[in-house]
Structure 1
């Protein structure tokens, strides 16, 4: 099938998930071997392949998304040799909204319907309509929680607007108009520089994390009004940070390329 894609000069897309953010690159095959293929890539995607050791392949000529392993990289000519092809999981490539992973540990407090207790989990990733949370296995109420279980969530995230406002020097003078401070989600328990947002949600899936003694809970959440605005702002900020992180990784990799040959 790859040989047909090569002969037809059909496009193929490289897909990697870096810190929750989909990183894609449209390219074309330049060579097909008995068990591998050669594909050009841009520097950011080559960096993804180097640090992750795999990539997912999408094409209209492929019946499924295909997972591949990086066999070798040529940094001088910006191409990769991929091998060990297998059909990817059903959810790869089907995210409709951007999810980002936090840079720091962010804690969510969850109260499941039917429970008087709150359970603390760390944020694994977040989108405008979903979250994934990690719970220590000995603390997670497996008998209480199943797909469809509803809950209320409080999540503390960095308040980037407040941080930017602190960096702006105050203006003085009689011509300065005074406006009321914007109303923002708030909790007396929130850390300085953080903002606490609340949302209802519904559990979608629960699975044990391999070798970590934790459960990963994925859920649909319903951010409303100001909370939705704040989470959109957080996602946008993290997206910019993640792209910049990848740029730095790429520059570092190519600065070391003479030592990696």
Structure 2
């Protein structure tokens, strides 16, 4: 590095030269002008706060007792790095002193300014890195102060940070006073075991939306607080989950005249998780608010509207036919597809319209929960009429529209992930689109993803900027570079994220017996989760969906660390569907295990995941 460039960069930092030999220090520091202050050890306490140094040059004549006293004073200056200069830098006691105080280096006293400059060059990269880090921290702090109200609770439950907007919102000047003032407001959220939570609360008659996030490593809890429009909050249609159930119960009790339709609409944002991960809670909340505004315009005469889960809303209608509601859903999707949402997000919604009919409240709630979990069976829908549609159904068939979404992601360098399910184990890594060709897409791919993609010959693309998950075939994997070429890209009808429980393939042929009344059938387990199992039989064993909706008893063995080497499992279940797939006939059964069987299955899944991780590591 030439002298001119060195001086240009070094002048970014304040330097303090400390020692008792002022004449020599001034001679050494002369070329650095007013950025290098010369001081004796005793004079350091008189430095102004805004002149505290970034770099300390401590010159000693191997008087370590004096050096210890000096370091105690210097620590109060909060410097970034320190260099030690002495007559005998290789003295073990000097080296020990340097290690104890975490000094950057120990050097002999320089003879000239040029010798000092050569030494300073070595510490310059570290100072630049600290400067960049300090700038980023200051910028983030400024953004935090200017943005929404934020509170950070430490692992001990005390407030450790409170943004300026939070102090203004709650009328609290000092962070130490906040815990006492806000304990009643935030205690229920803090005590909740949920790591991520959205809740509407009221503070001094003002409605607030509180977003809770718990950091798994530090155990700190961050609360982001949004002030809601009070007029919107007063609208009787916006209710909590409990309030919605009460209104649903009342309406179902009053529903005597079957000629008057009573319907429930479930609206689920299936890419909600991607929006939170790709952006943050605030963006997800803003997009939900924009959707709600559109919803209120299209569905203007409903009985009740509430949030069942952070990603799913319920709307209750009376005296509106199912046919009319289906038309409104189509119109809503049309309006949504032309609307521009915050941050360019493309929300993907699933709509499930339920005509309640003669169903009772417990069956209704059970149906909602199972539909949300993706484990609904024919038996669950016997008392209800069901209509389903997705906002991405029309888009999924339009290749040009999908290419436009991908082109926008590439041009804006927007967040995008590749996802594979390797024998049940999700493998997901960030990617970038490098090039769009007529029928192919070139993307970056990390080593582990390339291995799994080559094995599976397919991959799923996920982004908050896509209307749905996108399935692609793997055309080519570059063995030497982090590149892959994908082809046959198609929008998926359902999201891979709908899989609520981890499912793993088994290690060997594990027999399983299905019992339907007096009939017994023996097949082999393909994969298993806490609440479902896939069983393989010979092709054409059954007619397609012949078993759908039927209850069964399953008996099988799982590996276990006991004398027999296995444990017997007997569990009830309902067949979700059965059909031919390639050279097998597959039957999917939803399980209802008791606590003991569930613990055995959970333990097997956990051990199998560890085996798969070990297997992947050994192959990379």
Structure 1 residue 103: Cα displacement: 0.8
Q: State the match for 2:586 in structure 1.
A: 216
- 5 Å-filtered alignment, 1:142-157, equals 142=543, 145-157=546-558
1:128 aligns to 2:530 (yes or no): yes
Query: Quick one: structure 1 residues 111 and 145, their matched pair in 2 at CA, closer, same or farther if it must change by over 3 Å?
Result: farther
| Residues 31 and 39 in structure 1, CA contact (< 8 A), matched pair in contact too | yes
- Correspondent of 2:433 among 29, 40, 52: 29
| Structure with the greater alpha carbon radius of gyration | 2
How far apart, CA to CA, are the structure 2 residues paired with 1:143 and 1:245?
A: 36
Per-residue displacement from partner, 1:214-240 (whole Å, max 9, x unpaired)?
A: 320111001112111110000001111
Deviation readout 1:38-93 (Å, 9 max, x if unpaired): 22222111101122222111111111221112232223221212222122353644
CA-CA distance at 1:149 after TM superposition? 0.4
Distance 1:148 1:20 in 2: 25
Helix, strand or coil at the partner of 2:498: coil
* Contact in 1 for aligned 2:462/2:468 (Cα 8 Å): yes
Corresponding pairs, count: 216
| 1:242 paired residue number | 612
Q: Contact 1:100–1:238 at 8 Å: present in 2 too? A: yes
Residue 137 (structure 1) shift? 4.1
- RMSD of aligned alpha carbons: 2.1
TM-score, normalised to structure 1, is 0.76
Q: 2:562 aligns with which of 159, 162, 172?
A: 162
> Residue in 1 aligned with 2:415?
11
In the other structure, the counterpart of 1:189 is none
Q: Which residue of 2 aligns with 1:203?
A: 575
Between the aligned partners of 2:430 and 2:574, the Cα distance in structure 1 is 36
- Give structure 2 stretches of 5+ with no counterpart: 1-404
Question: What displacement does 1:243 show?
Answer: 1.9
Secondary structure in structure 2 of the residue aligned to 1:51: helix
Question: CA contact under 8 A between 1:56 and 1:88: conserved in structure 2?
Answer: no
Distance across 2 between alignment mates of 1:227 and 1:108: 15
Do the aligned partners of 1:111 and 1:117 also contact (CA within 8 Å) in 2? yes
Closer/same/farther in 2, CA of residues 16 and 200 from structure 1, 3 Å limit: same
Compare the two structures and name the one with the higher helix fraction: 2
2:406 corresponds in structure 1 to: 2
Partner SS state of residue 11, structure 1: coil
Matches within 5 A, 1:71-110: 71-90=475-494, 92-110=496-514
TM-score, scaled to structure 2: 0.33
Between the aligned partners of 1:162 and 1:9, the Cα distance in structure 2 is 53
Greater share of strand: 1
Q: What is aligned with 2:600?
A: 230
Cα deviations by residue, 1:94-135 (Å, 9 ceiling, x for unpaired): 2111100001101111111xx313211100110000001012
Tell me the SS of whatever aligns to 2:480. Answer: coil
> Does the 8 Å CA contact 2:418/2:430 hold for their aligned counterparts?
yes
Cα distance, 1:21 vs. partner? 2.3
Equivalent position SS for 2:453? helix
2:552 and 2:542 map into 1 onto residues whose CA distance is 13
Distance in 2, matches of 1:45 and 1:38, equals 14
Q: Any idea what the Cα deviations from partners look like across 1:180-222, whole Å, max 9, x if unmatched?
A: xxxxxxxxxxxx3111111100000111122x1x320111001
Q: Which one scores higher on RCO, CA 8 angstroms, separation ≥ 6?
A: 1
Change (3 A) 1:6 1:199: same
Unaligned runs of at least 5 residues, structure 1: 164-191, 252-261
3-state secondary structure, aligned to 1:64: coil
1:133-192 CA-partner distances (Å, limit 9, x unpaired): 012246x45599522100111111100x338xxxxxxxxxxxxxxxxxxxxxxxxxxxx3
Q: Contact 1:200–1:222 (CA<8 Å) still a contact in 2?
A: yes
